[in-house]
Amino acid sequence: MVTMKNQPAKHPLTEYVERLRTGGALLPNSPENVLEVVGILKSYGVVLDAYSNNLIYIADHQFLVFFPFFKYFNGDFSYKKLFRHWWHDRINYEYAEYCMKSMMWHGGGGLDAYLDTKEFQERAKAVITAKFKNNPFILGINQLFPDFLIEQLRVSAYYSGLGQFWRVMADIFLSLSDRYDQGEITSIADVVDHIKAGLVADAMKPVTYSVKIGDKVYDLLPKKAGLTFLADTAVPYVEAVFFRGTPFAGTVSYNAQAYQIPPDQSRFQYGALYADPLPIGGAGIPPTLLMQDMRHYLPEYLHALYRHSLRGEDDLRVQICITFQKSMFCVTTATILGLMPYPADTQDPSEQNSNRVYLEKWMDRFTTSRLSDVNS
């Protein structure tokens, strides 16, 4: 970057650095943006509530079940629900598992670190022994492949961890909608402040996970491990799902010679903040499942806005995706401001400089994102 002598180089996204440095948001304030963001987060909150309940059910009741055919029924199986499941007249819980697998694969945070400790392995071995004490065949398999069942319990821990994270976020989004309906939320700044307050309020909420076998409870993620909502689930989730994600099959080449996928997963940029909305709505693209789920719970004021758009309901999933990205930039704003080293209104020059450096590091990651698109 060419600069005048003795003048510091300006970041290409300086506009957004200045917005955030003064407590603003990545998404510009307008009545339509507020309506869209609150409306889509209302729908998302309803869907996350269902996702959370199912993930926690699977973690608590389907652990070490090798063929969990009915894991999406939350313990309430019926043939009517089965036919609805086959007809796809249901919540697409597969997307929740996609996010869980992405989060586990990218790792990061205390949850990921704890699952690799000797302590977790010992706790997992106790669960495995209790679960299969009357099954010599499985115990024999476990002797041959000692990491296989432990890895299954690591996966179960991520089911539970993501379920607990989404439980908090669902409540934040649904209460945001309630406050909007009551006239308390009128700007994007209000939206960001509400989300940030929710994140801060639950920042130290313990993340724990226990399973029951017979009459005994086994702690796989004990409270003494010190895992918490913000540092060990929220931040790794933002990193894995908002930023990195995984490349969607059919949209890029998995051929290493084509160089369409970075060799280093830390350089992945397939997350929610980067995804092109146009493929959303096509088969095989995981976020399509989320958009399909959210379309069933759109508040009428948002659905009406979509109906009066250029293509009406013909590209509803694409419109939902664009709005969803706007809302995720608001959630990201709340995360950035909540983790900023010093208050946005600090008057100390050294603290202001630290904030600027911190924000510029975030902006480095937004240069190829959809940030400019949602601001246009």
For the chain, first and last CA: distance in Å? 25
Domains in the chain: how many in total? 1
Spacing of C-alpha 187 from chain mean position: 24
Per-residue tens of pLDDT for the chain, all 376 residues = 445 455 556 677 888 998 998 888 999 999 999 999 999 999 999 999 999 999 999 999 999 999 999 999 999 989 998 998 888 888 999 999 999 999 999 998 999 999 999 999 999 999 999 999 999 999 999 999 999 999 999 999 999 999 999 999 999 999 999 999 999 999 999 999 999 999 999 999 999 999 999 999 999 999 999 999 999 999 999 999 999 999 887 788 877 777 888 888 888 989 999 988 888 877 778 899 999 999 999 999 999 999 988 777 888 999 999 999 999 999 999 999 989 999 888 889 999 999 999 999 999 999 899 999 999 8
pLDDT the model gives residue 47: 97
Q: Per the domain annotation, does 8 fall within a domain?
A: no
Which is it for the CA torsion 93, 296, 290, 329, positive or negative? negative
Angle between helices 148-181 and 31-61 (to 10 degrees): 150
- In this structure, are residues 344 and 21 in contact, taking their beta carbons and an 8 Å threshold? yes
pLDDT the model gives residue 2: 46
The answer for residues whose C-beta is within 8 angstroms of residue 23's C-beta and 6 or more apart is 189, 337, 344, 345
Measuring CA to CA, which residue among 175, 174, 163 is closest to residue 45?
174
pLDDT the model gives residue 1: 47
Q: Per the domain annotation, does 221 fall within a domain?
A: yes
Q: Per the domain annotation, does 88 fall within a domain?
A: yes
Q: Per the domain annotation, does 45 fall within a domain?
A: yes
Q: Per the domain annotation, does 238 fall within a domain?
A: yes
Q: Per the domain annotation, does 26 fall within a domain?
A: yes
Which residue type sits at 39?
A: G
Q: Per the domain annotation, does 6 fall within a domain?
A: no
Q: Which domain holds residue 131?
A: 14-375
The answer for residues whose C-beta is within 8 angstroms of residue 180's C-beta and 6 or more apart is 34, 38, 42
Q: Per the domain annotation, does 260 fall within a domain?
A: yes
pTM for the whole structure: 0.92
Element (H, E) at 212: strand 209-213
- In angstroms, the CA 236 to CA 159 distance is 14
284 backbone φψ class: left, alpha, beta (φ>0; ψ -120 to 50): left
Tokens matching residue 361: 């590091």
